């Protein structure tokens, strides 16, 4: 089998769109799928830019959230069958964790992890797939269940433990921030205040349910504007998705005395936040997110149901759609902060 794929050959460069060869036979726990739609998130931009240090796996494939159809299953696979629709996700779920697939490109080995979604045909480890009945939910929203939406849901429900009566402050209206705004909006929260540096993202935040948007300026004036909005109190929950230490400091300083500041964004190495720790002794909490701690096999069916009943309304997602051939344009738009939430649609030319 051959597949069209976006390949990372050198860090920091554009992806190469080319044909790759899939192995003849599936191994224990491996599943062959046809990718229908894939999400793109900041993790892939970081991977391309090798932010965690030199990339040992070049050349390799990418992508970790998708929606697919199962074409074939290898030995020992028990949780998924040929013809099923499934969500492709990066966190391990039910079933076997197989060997990673041995793709070939230009007669050399092409590396890939347990799941990749920037290739039309993919061999995926059973435990990176969760079967769903997609009826009533569009293929354009479903890939978000592989990462963005399950993360946002987990952060809100499990880590921040947000209740409908809480007031919330969110730093950053990128993919994660916008998805959280949507989920909070579905919970009918009264105060969802969102900060970002770009006007376009703040407009999207407003459209998706933010009750107040503030353009991040310097720390002092931004802090004043937030305090003004939440008068006479302070928000119960502040979530940083930016990793910018000024935002982390504000998230901590501006939560109420028994509130929670939750850090989702990770600062660059050496960027240290400075906080006064006394309030931590009196009930304030500062915690680092573990990616929502999501369990794909329990969370994905819950979220599919919420999407079907429109308790979660993602009708205006994604904000942008690209064919695989235009993936480099998509990545450039994501880097420049020009888009909200984007997908690759493999049916597009
Ligand atoms: Zn992701």
pLDDT less than 70: residues of the chain: none
Position 313 scores a pLDDT of: 87
Position 318 scores a pLDDT of: 77
Position 137 scores a pLDDT of: 93
User: Cis peptide leading into 232, omega within 30 of 0?
Assistant: yes
Question: Cα dihedral sign for 39, 43, 47, 48?
Answer: positive
Number of C-alpha atoms within 13 angstroms, CB side, residue 108? 8
Q: Give me ligand 1 centre to Cα 148, in Å.
A: 6
Q: Give me ligand 1 centre to Cα 155, in Å.
A: 14
The residues that bridge with 16 in the sheet, in sequence order, are: 7
Q: Name the residues around ion ligand 1, CB cutoff 5 A.
A: 41, 43, 147
Q: Give me ligand 1 centre to Cα 17, in Å.
A: 21
Q: Give me ligand 1 centre to Cα 291, in Å.
A: 10
- Does residue 98 contact residue 125 with C-beta atoms inside 8 Å? yes
Q: Give me ligand 1 centre to Cα 280, in Å.
A: 31
3-state secondary structure of 248: helix
CA distance 93 to 77: 13
Taking only the tens place, the pLDDT of each residue in 111-160 is 999 999 999 999 999 999 999 998 889 999 999 999 989 999 999 999 99
Q: Give me ligand 1 centre to Cα 151, in Å.
A: 8
- On the 0-12 / 13-18 / 19+ scale of CB atoms within 10 A, 231 is exposed
Q: Give me ligand 1 centre to Cα 149, in Å.
A: 9
Q: Give me ligand 1 centre to Cα 39, in Å.
A: 8
Q: Give me ligand 1 centre to Cα 296, in Å.
A: 14
CA distance 238 to 155: 12
Position 305 scores a pLDDT of: 94
Q: Give me ligand 1 centre to Cα 43, in Å.
A: 6
Q: Give me ligand 1 centre to Cα 220, in Å.
A: 32
In order, the DSSP letters of 122-166 are: EEEEGGGEEEE--TTS-TTTGGGGGTHHHHHHHIIIIIS---TT-
pTM of the model: 0.87
Position 294 scores a pLDDT of: 87
Q: Give me ligand 1 centre to Cα 63, in Å.
A: 8
Position 134 scores a pLDDT of: 85
């Amino acid at each position: 089998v051959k597949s069209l794929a976006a390949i990372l050959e050198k860090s920091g460069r554009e992806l190469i769109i080319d044909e790759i060869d899939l192995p003849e036979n599936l191994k224990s726990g491996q599943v062959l799928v046809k990718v229908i739609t894939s999400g793109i998130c900041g993790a892939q931009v970081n991977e391309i830019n090798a932010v965690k240090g030199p990339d040992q796996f070049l050349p390799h494939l990418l992508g970790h959230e998708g929606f697919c159809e199962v074409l074939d299953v290898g030995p020992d696979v028990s949780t998924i069958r040929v013809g099923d629709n499934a969500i492709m996700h990066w966190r391990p779920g039910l079933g076997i964790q197989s060997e990673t697939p041995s793709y070939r490109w230009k007669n050399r080995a092409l590396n890939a992890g347990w799941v990749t979604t920037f290739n039309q045909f993919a061999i995926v480890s059973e435990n990176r797939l969760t079967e769903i009945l997609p009826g009533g939910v569009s293929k354009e929203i479903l890939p978000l269940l592989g990462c963005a939406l399950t993360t946002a849901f987990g952060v809100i429900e499990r880590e921040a433990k947000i209740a409908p009566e809480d007031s919330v402050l969110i730093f950053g209206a990128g993919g994660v921030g916008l998805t959280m705004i949507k989920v909070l909006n579905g919970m009918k929260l009264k105060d969802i205040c969102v900060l970002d540096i770009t006007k376009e993202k703040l407009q999207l935040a407003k459209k998706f349910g933010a009750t107040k948007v503030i353009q991040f300026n310097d720390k002092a004036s931004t802090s004043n504007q937030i305090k003004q909005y939440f008068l006479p109190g302070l928000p119960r929950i502040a979530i940083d998705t930016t990793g910018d230490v000024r935002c982390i400091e504000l998230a901590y300083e501006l939560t109420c005395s028994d509130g929670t500041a939750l850090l989702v964004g990770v600062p660059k190495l050496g960027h240290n936040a400075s906080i006064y720790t006394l309030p931590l002794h009196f009930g304030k909490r500062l915690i680092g997110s573990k990616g929502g701690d999501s369990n794909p096999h329990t969370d994905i069916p819950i979220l599919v149901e919420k999407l079907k009943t429109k308790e979660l309304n993602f009708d205006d997602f994604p904000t942008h759609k690209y064919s695989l051939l235009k993936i480099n344009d998509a990545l450039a738009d994501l880097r420049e902060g020009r888009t909200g939430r984007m997908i690759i649609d493999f049916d597009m030319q």
